[in-house]
Amino acid sequence: MSKLVIVESPAKAKTIKKYLGNDFDVVASMGHIRDLPAAKLNVDVKNDFSPKYAIIKGKEKLVKDLKDKVQGCDKVYLATDPDREGEAISWHLATVLGLDLNDKNRVKFNEINETSVKRGISNPEVVDMGLVDAQQARRILDRLVGYRLSPFISQKIRRGLSAGRVQSVAVRLIVDRQEEIEKFNPEEYWSIDAKFLSNRKTLSASLTSDENGKVKIENKEQADYYLSRLEDAAYTASSVKKGTRKKQPAPPFITSSMQQEASRKLNFQAQKTMKIAQELYEGVDVAGYGMTGLITYMRTDSLRISEEARAAANAFITSEYGEKYLPEKPRYFKTRAGAQDGHEAIRPANVAITPAMARGSLSNDQYKLYNLIWCRYVASLMAPCVQDTVKIEITAEKEGVAGYCVFSASGYSIKFDGFTKLYEDVTADEDSDTNIPEVKAGDVLKLKEVKGNQHFTQPPSFYTEASLIKTLEETGVGRPSTYASIVTTIIKREYVKRDGKLLKATELGVATTNLLKEKFQKIVNTKFTASMETKLDEIDEGKTNYVAMLHEFYDDLENTLSKAKTEMQGQKIQLQEDITDVKCDKCGRNMVIKVGRYGKFLACPGYPECKTTKPLIEETSAVCPICGGNVIGKKSKRGYQFYGCSNYPQCNFMTWDKPTGENCPKCGKSLFKGKGGMITCSNEACDYTCKATRKNAKKTQNENDD
């Protein structure tokens, strides 16, 4: 009896084939096989938003091959990823391949190992139409927003722009934060900091109170007042409080926390983190184990751990570290309200495969991420770290003078390392002083120095990829499967740019956001977008009809769009970054950058009275080897970059190679860099060539990852 299993990727197919043997043929669909074609809306809004799907261009042969395989087998299993997107892919496959949707042919693997794969094959289910409807609703919602709003903002700001249901909210968060930073007025405050000597060790402390209560110092005059009070004062340790506290480990990763921690510790961008996690989930050829999935499914917002996995981790902790490294009671983490609980937290599929054991079978990046996931998970089940804490109050008094000042110092030392033996959180303890000398109540301390320090309140930080993802999660915007693509999209579309690790809005991003805030408030409202996510969750639970939800959303969108078109008739927003210093040859106005079918060009802002246009020229320092004119960057009709002489058509010099900005050491002509990194001289009579040197070749792997 022949059986066919369809998965999404070849790597996953290879891993599963190993466990199922020769009775099964395992093939990959390479993701979605059909979608809404991009050329038109392809959603029939007058017929209950019926989507018009088509086979994705380039996948016709793949679909034909799948149909042939289905015809020649007795049983078909749909084993796409265990989430909404995977369920939709299974539904598309079943529909295109003519499978019975009432048949139990859907199998799911939260982790790809022999036990899970065979268990899934033995317990097939029907395709979950609730999940499919939720995915379709999301896809149609995004298509409606994109295809109805994008033409409007393109007309009002710049051709080729796009709006997105979730991306626009993400850009707004960045724009609002940027405006908050720009408007921030720092406030001055001071601290009085002292250093004392005790048992030949230094004890640092800060002024916290006086006879009137808590001290707040706002300027230098107030700071000088306290410093004068402290002249010739005697300092006594008036209170020494000792105690212990337990520091609990962080929970195992969910998608968002994995992306955030990989950004902080590994300098990985979210998209890179998800790509590597997908590889670890689908399977790696590990020495001694063969092809095996190393982690559980990586798109999840649940902190649940199976009891089977917990028992295996507890056994590992006991054997590796001893029973004292297990907590007194098993630790259970509470999943946040509104999270989907379909999958476990991200954890090793087999805790016995340690990062050290797998290292030789993994790429450097795979090892880094697997080590992070493995350590975080095992540490989450270990005993807490026990710390001895101390808080010291030091009273400053002058003989014969009423009043007093109190300085405070606090710190801790490690009594039992617990989970920190394996994994440390990125954030440090607030009480970071671990070197406080032994002090007893009543001890007289010798003052080493006391001084006033000026400070200013700081504005909120610019978003990083990690902090933006955290905010999206906290506000309920997007879902684990979308965080990475949101960031990638808003940068690709030039609404946001990276500045090191910081995300900053461009002028285009600010202008687009302000337009949407003014005319389409709901589209960029975090609460509204989060409520749409909740409705999508209700659809997959069977609580909400997705067609009714789409009607409600679309009707409101159309009314708002119609009103905006009327209010902004004849108006256009001109971006400062699009205005150039190139003068129009006919009317003298400063020409502006426009976007056309073949890319950017210069146009007169006086259109339609003045219709002058020019190609947008990229200036270079290279000199034409034929006539000595300037070499400029140009675009072909198909949008490819090339370089040619500014004296064209009198001079027809052109090259696909890029000017380096340097001159040939042999003949002095301009050098160009071509394919393969070879640098050649533009002078055909000169034979100078060399290999381009890599910039920052000595960077560490972590620096390169950013």
User: Mind listing the pLDDT tens digit for each residue in 44-81?
Assistant: 999 999 999 999 999 999 999 999 999 989 999 999 99
Joined tokens for residue 49: 């938003």
Beta bridge partners of 34: 55
Give the residue extent of every domain in the chain. 3-127, 137-183+461-567, 188-248+385-456, 255-380, 578-659
pLDDT at 512: 96
The span from the CA of 556 to the CA of 149, in Å, is 13
**How confident is the model over 680-703, as a mean pLDDT?**
65
Arithmetic mean of pLDDT over the chain: 90
Calculate Rg over the CA atoms of the chain: 32
pLDDT at 156: 93
pLDDT at 683: 85
**DSSP 3-state of 225:** helix
Q: How confident is the model at residue 705 (pLDDT cuts 50, 70, 90)?
A: very low
- CATH assignment of 255-380, among 3.40.50.2300, 3.55.50.30, 1.10.290.10, 1.20.58.760: 1.10.290.10
Record: fold of 3-127: Rossmann fold (3.40.50)
Is residue 342 scored above 50 in pLDDT?
yes
User: Mind listing the pLDDT tens digit for each residue in 18-50?
Assistant: 899 888 999 999 999 999 998 899 999 999 999
The span from the CA of 3 to the CA of 23, in Å, is 6
Q: How confident is the model at residue 401 (pLDDT cuts 50, 70, 90)?
A: confident
Q: Which residues are catalytic?
A: 297
**How confident is the model over 204-216, as a mean pLDDT?**
96
Class of domain 188-248+385-456: mainly beta
Joined tokens for residue 131: 């999940």
pTM: 0.80
68: phi then psi, degrees, rounded to nearest 5:
-65, -40
pLDDT at 615: 78
Is residue 338 scored above 70 in pLDDT?
no
Is residue 87 scored above 90 in pLDDT?
yes
Quick check: do 188-248+385-456 and 255-380 share a fold? no
Q: Residues with Cβ < 8 Å from 74, sequence gap 6 or more?
A: 1, 2, 3
Record: fold of 137-183+461-567: Topoisomerase I; domain 2 (1.10.460)
User: Mind listing the pLDDT tens digit for each residue in 532-587?
Assistant: 989 998 998 889 999 999 999 999 999 999 999 999 998 988 887 678 878 898 88
User: Mind listing the pLDDT tens digit for each residue in 172-190?
Assistant: 999 999 999 999 999 999 9
Question: Which residue from 601, 609, 643, 604 is spatially nearest to 626, judged by alpha carbons?
Answer: 643
